Amino acid sequence: MASRVLLKKPFDLGKIVLRNQSTMSAFEIQHKTPLIKKVEAIPVALYGGRHAVTMLPGGGIGPELMGYVREVFKYAGAPVDFEVVDIGDENKELDYALTSIKRNGVAIKGNIETKSESANVVSRNVAIRNELDLFVNVLHCKSYPGVPARQKDIDIVIIRQNTEGEYAMLEHESVDGVVESMKVVTQSNSDRVARYAFEYAKRNGRKRVTTIHKANIMKLSDGLFLDTSKRIAEEYPEIEHTDMIIDNCCMQLVSKPHQFDVMIMTNLYGSIVSNVVCGLIGGAGLLSGKNYGDHYAIFEPGTRNTGTAIAGKNIANPIAMLSASVDMLHHLGHTQHAELIQRAIEKTICEDKIHTPDLGGSAKSTDIVQRIIDHILQSDIRP
């Protein structure tokens, strides 16, 4: 039975008809994913003043970090109930997770391992972002005072296109030993990512937006993304717009990071730049990332690392995941609870200087969490 894919905005793609997945080849399954799906608005689940949130622990250190989130929320009195969903390589597990997120509207997740190399099993992380049309990822890269880092006083916002580019998952072997991978850049997605970035800058008093690209080589794909940014920039004359080639951008981030304010880029460049900036600030264990669509939001550690090598050793830095939970509370409108936990985090790592090994310390994960809870319990301002 044929099923229709409704697009949020019209594309010159002609008539799109997808056959039932059971009759499709692995090649065809991959080629159905980069479409923007039309989703109906579903209200954020709220029951008796409490929010239901989908929790996807993921692999590696994800499950233990989620345990710390639940523990901190308990002592902070955060009005959130978690629906825990584990995802493996079974499609029915992914389908249930998507149903849960659509029902609740909000999720917090660790990085989900996709262990199968079969073309029939796509990356779970990419599939979730594509299916829910989470078109933008926001990473606020701000230095923590007192945390050893290669650069100090950094305050950069990275806004990343989140559903296409090289992550469109369009690959095939045209002839034996020759693999082609398609990079997808659409004007529709470029437009709304650029507009999101300039609106963000306007709302938050930011002065400059820099578009990162490789339009000197990829003249059509990155050229479209850059041209769209320039067009949108004309609507915001109060905000300076510049652009920079990705190669030079990485060098400039290492040598002169303070020149950047808000940065926008396509998907793969966002993955690279996010990890570079996180490394400058202190590593993968500090910063959180936010994924937004028109109707759903997912919060996660900023660098999307699984951390399998340190799982179960009680040395993983819990700050990135706890910061993601703070972002989630702000999104849900629980500002007091968010600020209570954020203050406790800052006191623990900036004033007490209790650091896990990734920050040059010797503290255990549980030492960090316990000190955060102690600060919460000692706070004079509690919701």
> Any idea what the CATH number is for the domain that residue 327 is in?
3.40.718.10
Report whether pLDDT(12) > 80.
Answer: no
Q: What is the pLDDT of residues 267-281, one digit of tens each?
A: 999 999 999 999 999
What is the average pLDDT across 111-121? 68
114 and 193 in a single domain? The answer is: no
**Interatomic CA distance for residues 164 and 380, integer angstroms:** 46
Residue at 165 is within a domain: yes
pLDDT above 60 for 317: yes
Answer whether residue 115 shows pLDDT above 50.
yes
pLDDT on residue 112: 83
Does 259 share its domain with 192?
Answer: yes
97 or 121: whose pLDDT is higher? Answer: 97
> Residue 21 domain-assigned?
no
Supply the pLDDT for residue 8. 38
Evaluate whether residue 25 is within a structural domain.
Answer: no
How would residue 285 be classed by pLDDT, with cut points 50, 70 and 90?
confident
Under the banding of pLDDT at 50, 70 and 90, the label for residue 54 is very high
The pLDDT of residue 185 is 95
Assess if residue 26 is contained within a domain. Answer: no
**In the chain, what percentage of residues exceed pLDDT 70?**
85
CA distance 133 to 131: 5
Compute CA distances 336 → 45, 332, 353, whole Å. Answer: 20, 11, 24
**Alpha-carbon span 137 to 8, nearest angstrom:** 19
On the question of pLDDT at 109 being above 90, the answer is: yes
Predicted confidence (pLDDT) per residue in 162-219, tens digit: 999 888 778 888 899 999 998 999 999 999 999 999 999 999 999 999 999 999 999 9
What are the tokens at 7?
Answer: 């697009």
pLDDT band at 248 (very low <50, low <70, confident <90, very high): very high
pTM for the full predicted model: 0.85
Count of domains forming the chain: 2
pLDDT averaged over every residue in the chain = 86
Pairing of strands 262-265, 50-56: unpaired
What's the burial of 36, exposed, middle or buried (CB within 10 Å: 0-12/13-18/19+)?
buried
Instruction: Give the relative orientation of helices 124-131 and 91-104 as an angle to the nearest 10 degrees.
Output: 40
Last residue of one domain, picked from the residues 281, 313, 337:
281
**Higher-scoring residue by pLDDT: 12, 41:** 41
pLDDT at residue 106, as a whole number: 96
**Nearest CA among 30, 72, 113, 153 for reference residue 307:** 113
Q: What domain range is 209 assigned to?
A: 150-281
Residue 326: per-residue pLDDT: 97
What CA–CA distance (Å, rounded) separates 347 from 341? 10
C-alpha neighbours within 13 Å on the C-beta side of residue 328: 32
Domain boundary among 222, 257, 281: 281
Q: What pLDDT shows up at residue 26? A: 47
Q: Hey, CA dihedral for 161, 166, 167, 168, is it positive or negative?
A: positive
Question: Same domain, yes or no, for 265 and 155?
Answer: yes
Same-domain check for residues 277 and 295: no
Q: Find how far residue 266's CA is from the centre of its chain.
A: 13
- Where a domain ends, among 261, 281, 301? 281
Q: Is 29 within the bounds of a domain? A: no
Both 97 and 126 in a single domain?
yes
- Residue 53 and residue 130 in one domain: yes
Q: What is the pLDDT of residue 309?
A: 86
Q: Please check the confidence at residue 20 and state whether its pLDDT lies above 60.
A: no
CA 309 vs CA 59, 255, 315: distances in Å: 11, 30, 11
Between these two residues, 20 and 370, which has the higher pLDDT value? Answer: 370
Q: Alpha-carbon torsion 163, 308, 272, 218, what sign?
A: negative
